[in-house]
Structure 1
Amino acid sequence: MAASETVTLVLGEDSPLPENSADVEDLVRLLRGHVAQLGARTAPTIPALLCVQQLCSESIPEGYMPSRVYLVRLAEATRELSAYVEHSGLDSITMVGRRRRPRSTVNVLCGTVFTIALLCLVFAASGPRT
C-alpha cells in the first residue's frame, strides 16, 4: 500500500516534479525501501525484480533533468514490481514444492501458555494433600 502511494506521489498527473535534489533523494530512498520490501516477497529471478534492483544499484544522476528521469524510471519499475507481487499472491516464505505453515500470532501463543498453566494448576490442586 505504501509503495503505491509513493509511486503515485511521483507519477500522479497532479504531482509536480520535485523542486530540489534533496526531494529527489528522499523519494528515491523511499522507493528503494519499497523495492527491498517487495523483493523479499518474490522470487529472486523475476525479471521485474531484476530490472528494478539494477535501477536501485545505480547512483542518482547529476543535473535537474537526468535526476528526475531516473526518479520516474524507478517509480515505474517499482509500480510494475508492486503489481506483480499483488497479482501473483506470493508471500515472503513461499517455497516451490513445500507447503507453508501458517504463522502463529502472539495472542494464540499466550493463550496456549495460559491454558497449559491453568491445566497444571487444576491437576496439582486435584491431588491429595499430605
Structure 2
Amino acid sequence: MIFLGLIQFLLAFDAATSQMAIVDRLLNVYAKMGFTYREERFLDNLPILDSYDFVIVGAGPGGAVTANRLSENPKWTVLLLEAGIEGNLYTDIPALNIIFGFTNYNWKYVTESQPELMCRGMNNKRCSWPSGKG
C-alpha cells in the first residue's frame, strides 16, 4: 500500500514542478501515513578548540571508527572533519535520494566511458555514480 501510494504521488507531478515542492508534498504524505519527521541536531557537539591531539580527515568507515576509538581516551581531543554541507530534513528521506544527485550534496562522480558495455545513451557514454557528501 505504501509503495502504490508513493507511485501515485510521484506520477502526479510534471517537469515544471519544483523539487522542493515535491519534497514538501512527500513529507505531507509521510505524515498522513504516520511517519512523522523530527529534526535531530547534533546536540552533543563540543565547541571548536584552538588545537587537537588528533585531526582525522574523512568520516567514512575507517575515519569514523578511528575517531571513535581515539575519543575513548578522555585525555585526548579528537577532531573529525567531513566534506559537505549541513544536512536538512529533506536529506533524511531515502525516497528523495535521486533528487539530491544533482545538488551540492553529491560529489557528482561519473564512470569511465565504456560505450560497448554500458551507458550508451548517456552524455559522453558515462553514467553518473552518486556518492553523497558527509
Is the pair's TM-score, using the shorter chain for normalization, greater than 0.5?
no
Q: Where is the strand percentage greater, Structure 1 or Structure 2?
A: 2
Higher relative CO (Cα under 8 Å, sequence separation at least 6) belongs to 1
Give me the TM-score of the superposition, normalised by structure 1. 0.20
Q: Which protein is bigger by CA-based radius of gyration?
A: 1
Q: Where is the helix percentage greater, Structure 1 or Structure 2?
A: 1
